[in-house]
């Protein structure tokens, strides 16, 4: 054999054949793990890196799997632009780093995911940004908290964690227009299935894709969606601070997204039925679910709900999370967890139903008094509903309330 016909070991190992033009369409996307992309010449590299030509040069800036996924999120949110980041916290960081400067002031809802509060209330002051909490159930007070010319942003959750207060987004947008600040919304609990905040006039939306959008608890990711008027340099800011999502995670999230509609619909209806069931149980002191008629912010639901989802809504479902307060005189949290067999995960949005205990997880950084001022007590349990049959779930919840605590866990 003529050894000269073969390429060298280095050529074989380092070769990167361009994919043949496929004549049939693959059923799932290719995964482009490439860290860099060869450009035709320095001028092309300059144009791509400067955003004047579409294409990819360096993975931290952009890559095909991220671009595909971001486009799907853009369409789901009816947004002008979308960006994927390596976590929900990175999504919030991108908005903050793009929008705020030393000397600015911002308002943050007192009902926020704990780490979002820590980022805004403890990290931003290090950069000379001042922060004031507001109560979304008392919008009149926002007028007094605004600092004319200095208040640049307001942060709120569409449906807040863990007691599911629904924000009056149209009213907050009106306040923003009146006082000249932008409104940024964490839509993680609502997802674009239940609410598309940009359609209500909100300026920025972010979500943790790690939750229901991906739905399989096997990656961390976030999204930012926004309008052309404010989008500016946020992509460059996200790249500079290293906030982008990796190709493999984008592939997985895109796969998770294929079943998103079915999962959120089923899980939300399970949540709604469970909220009604829990409301009738003597071991339960209070139930929090925005679809229940007595929920304090029930009247805001119709103002935020995406009309397509709302029109198919036979059980007053709004999201897949329910919180309730156990009567600790009758049943301990440990007994509920052990007897129900529902897995305790400090997260939400999986295919299976999971449970969280805010005092020991999302709100553990607060004192007992602070927790109680938010309505969170040692007996408060948050359930993130999955796609099981409701009959199975009702059995598990009943067992949690009255059953033998030695039942094996489903972890």
Ligand X SMILES: Cc1ncc(COP(=O)(O)O)c(C=O)c1O
Residues that bind ligand X (CB under 6 A): 87-89, 113, 116, 157, 161, 186, 188-189, 208, 210, 220, 222, 347
Closer by beta carbon to ligand X, 73 or else 189: 189
Closer by beta carbon to ligand X, 213 or else 399: 213
Number of H helices, E strands in the chain: 17, 12
Least separation, in Å, of the C-beta of 208 and ligand X? 3
Closer by beta carbon to ligand X, 89 or else 153: 89
| Structure token digits, residue 174 | 């009106």
Q: Which of 356, 346, 337, 348 is nearest to 410 (CA)?
A: 337
Closer by beta carbon to ligand X, 217 or else 276: 217
Closer by beta carbon to ligand X, 6 or else 248: 248
| Structure token digits, residue 405 | 């605590």
Which residue in this structure is represented by tokens 């000397």?
103
Closer by beta carbon to ligand X, 219 or else 284: 219
Closer by beta carbon to ligand X, 157 or else 203: 157
| Structure token digits, residue 355 | 């449970």
Closer by beta carbon to ligand X, 89 or else 166: 89
Least separation, in Å, of the C-beta of 14 and ligand X? 36
**DSSP, residue by residue, 297-330:** THHHHHHHS-HHHHHT-SS---SSEEEEEE-TTT
Distance CA 134, CA 154 (A): 9
Least separation, in Å, of the C-beta of 114 and ligand X? 8
Least separation, in Å, of the C-beta of 29 and ligand X? 22
Least separation, in Å, of the C-beta of 103 and ligand X? 27
Phi and psi dihedrals of 227, rounded to 5?
A: -100, 155
Residues 6+ apart with CB under 8 A from 347: 210, 211, 217, 354, 356, 384
Phi and psi dihedrals of 39, rounded to 5?
A: -100, 155
Least separation, in Å, of the C-beta of 286 and ligand X? 21
Closer by beta carbon to ligand X, 208 or else 281: 208
Residues 6+ apart with CB under 8 A from 222: 84, 85, 86, 87, 88, 89, 90, 91, 92, 206, 207, 208, 209, 210, 245
| Structure token digits, residue 170 | 């149209």
392, 394, 399, 401: CA torsion to nearest 10: 160
Would you say 282 and 402 are in contact if contact means Cβ atoms under 8 Å apart?
no
State which residue has the least CB distance to ligand X.
88
Least separation, in Å, of the C-beta of 159 and ligand X? 9
Least separation, in Å, of the C-beta of 197 and ligand X? 14
Which residue in this structure is represented by tokens 């054949």?
17
Least separation, in Å, of the C-beta of 113 and ligand X? 4
């Amino acid at each position: 054999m003529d050894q000269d016909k073969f390429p060298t070991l280095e050529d074989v190992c380092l070769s990167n054949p361009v994919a043949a033009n496929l004549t049939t369409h693959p059923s799932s996307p290719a995964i482009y793990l490439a860290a860099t992309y060869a450009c035709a010449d320095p001028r092309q590299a300059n144009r791509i890196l400067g955003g004047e030509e579409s294409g990819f040069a360096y993975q931290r800036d952009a890559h095909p799997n991220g671009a595909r996924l971001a486009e799907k999120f853009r369409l789901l949110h009816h947004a002008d632009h979308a960006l994927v980041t390596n976590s929900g916290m990175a999504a919030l960081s991108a908005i903050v780093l793009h929008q705020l400067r030393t000397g600015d002031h911002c308002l943050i809802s007192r009902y926020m995911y704990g780490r979002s509060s820590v980022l805004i209330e403890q990290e931003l002051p290090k950069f000379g940004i001042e922060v004031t909490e507001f109560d979304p159930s008392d919008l009149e007070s926002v007028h007094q908290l605004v600092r004319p010319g200095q208040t640049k942003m307001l942060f709120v959750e569409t449906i807040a964690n863990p007691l599911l207060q629904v924000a009056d987004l149209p009213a907050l947008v009106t306040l923003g227009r009146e006082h000249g600040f932008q409104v940024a919304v964490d839509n993680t609990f609502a997802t674009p299935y239940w609410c598309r905040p940009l359609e209500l006039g909100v300026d920025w939306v972010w979500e943790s894709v790690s939750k229901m959008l991906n739905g399989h608890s096997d990656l961390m990711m976030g999204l930012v969606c926004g309008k052309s008027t404010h989008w500016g340099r946020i992509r460059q800011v996200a790249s500079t601070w290293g906030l982008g999502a990796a190709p493999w995670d984008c592939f997985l999230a895109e796969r998770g997204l294929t079943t998103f509609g079915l999962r959120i619909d089923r899980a939300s209806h399970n949540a709604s039925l469970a909220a009604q069931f829990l409301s009738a149980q003597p071991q339960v002191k209070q139930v929090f679910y925005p679809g229940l008629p007595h929920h304090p912010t029930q009247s805001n639901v119709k103002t935020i709900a995406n009309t397509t989802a709302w029109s198919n809504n036979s059980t007053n479902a709004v999201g897949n999370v329910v919180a309730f307060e156990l009567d600790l005189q009758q049943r301990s949290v440990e007994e509920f967890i052990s007897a129900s067999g529902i897995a305790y995960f400090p997260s939400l949005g999986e295919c299976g139903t999971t449970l969280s205990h805010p005092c020991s997880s999302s709100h553990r950084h607060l004192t007992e008094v602070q927790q109680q001022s938010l309505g969170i007590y040692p007996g408060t349990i948050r359930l993130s509903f999955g796609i099981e049959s409701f009959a199975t779930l009702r059995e598990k919840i009943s067992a949690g309330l009255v059953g033998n605590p030695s039942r094996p866990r489903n972890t």
